[in-house]
Amino acid sequence: MKRSASPVILLRASEHLSGSPVSTLTPTSESSHTTLRRSKRIKVESGPSEPRDDARSLLVKFEGLEETTLQVAVDAPATGTSKRKPATRVKREGTTSPKKQKPIKQALETPHPTPARWSEAYNAIKEMRSRIVAPVDTMGCNRAQLEETIPQNQRFATLISLMLSSQTKDEVTFAAVGKLREAVGGSLSVDALVRADDSVISDAICKVAFWRRKTQYIKQAAQRLCDDFDSDVPKTVDELCSLPGVGPKMAFLCLQDAWKLNVGIGVDVHVHRITNRLGWHKPPTKNPEETRLNLQSWLPLELHPEINALLVGFGQTICLPVGPRCDTCKLNDGLCPSARKGTTTRVKTGKAVVAAARKAGPEVEIAIETETVDSVRDPSSPLSDA
């Protein structure tokens, strides 16, 4: 048996009830201008509106139908002519659901091959770092908890320090954490940050990068911890990354420093840059997350907690982003494919010394003072990060 076509409905606004909330539903033939894709129960509402081109505006709501195209022909009250209105898309309200956070990827499906001679390079970096005190060693994010006495506040101070450290030097972050602690009463706690005004937080952290945005993140994160985590730092990567302003690098480092949980490697720009310079990624990775997954697939688990501080200090003192000090690095004998040969020379401009000496005729000799960086400085003094 052939299924009969759905009834066709023509919606006409009553010409006698101007501004009336009632419109008539009139069945008509298939040749009419208004068609529905499928039969559904509908509500038609007409509210007061200004007439435009002898047509009256109609608000149509469909029950049980997410999206339907409806063409409406409205008769003009005087002339009797009709005009076709453009197709109207109607969407049900309240159907959009909040996006769920994607879980943080923990491992590669196919592990990255172990780089050749990686352990030699790693041990050479450890030996160099043992003689150099870098900013991360004295002012890193793990130092913030040392000023707190309550374990719960120690964990929260570590999280705050990590949130402030994004694109900010360790020295600036360390000072901002100290100022924020004083501004909220001498101790970094969730309750203290919830009660603090935005202006108090902003004044304390105004030296860090993106301090306005970080002020919002800190306030929102503190409120979330208060409401959902009993005013304590959560113990999983996904829960930490659900907090505003917290990414995977911060989450892994926070779990290592706050909870002593070794579940992954915290990869920042230093780790990302140095491991690519060493040729440990084939092909080179494009972002820190790719670097993390590669490293976690082959680096021994016991080295995961220490590699971040090791390479960050190495990147702050020797393997600089611009002008790396390859001549002082022990990896330039074949362990680092990116090593630059020769002596790095820095010329200080504006310090020309002119000495005039007269022999047979007038002669001017110009000497330029230069500073060469061709030897390791005194191990007792940290190298400059500039």
Is the model's pLDDT at 23 over the cut of 50?
no
Structurally, what CATH architecture does the domain formed by 118-317 represent? Answer: Orthogonal Bundle (1.10)
Domain residue ranges in the chain: 8-91, 118-317, 344-373
Cβ(256)–Cβ(233) below 8 Å: no
Greatest pairwise CA separation for the chain in angstroms: 122
Q: What DSSP state is assigned to residue 142?
A: G
Which is more confidently placed, 89 or 358? Answer: 89
Which is more confidently placed, 53 or 138? Answer: 138
Nearest to 287 by CA among 255, 322, 240, 247: 247
Tens of pLDDT along 56-87?
Answer: 444 444 444 444 444 444 444 444 454 555 55
Tokens of 200: 């108090």
Dihedral pair phi/psi, residue 133, rounded to 5°: -100, 115
Tens of pLDDT along 355-366?
Answer: 333 334 444 444
- Measuring CA to CA, how many Å separate 31 from each of 28, 34, 196, 203, 225? 8, 9, 68, 70, 62
Q: What is the mean pLDDT of residues 41-59?
A: 47
How confident is residue 101, by pLDDT bands cut at 50, 70 and 90?
confident
How confident is residue 340, by pLDDT bands cut at 50, 70 and 90?
confident
Dihedral pair phi/psi, residue 241, rounded to 5°: -70, -15
Cβ(201)–Cβ(217) below 8 Å: no
Q: Which residues are catalytic?
A: 249
Is the model's pLDDT at 350 over the cut of 80?
no
Q: Distance between CA 243 and CA 68 in Å, rounded?
A: 38
CA torsion through residues 128, 134, 138, 142, sign: negative
Helix 170-183 with 198-205: angle, nearest 10 deg: 150
The fraction of the chain above a pLDDT of 70, given in percent, is 62
Q: What DSSP state is assigned to residue 230?
A: T
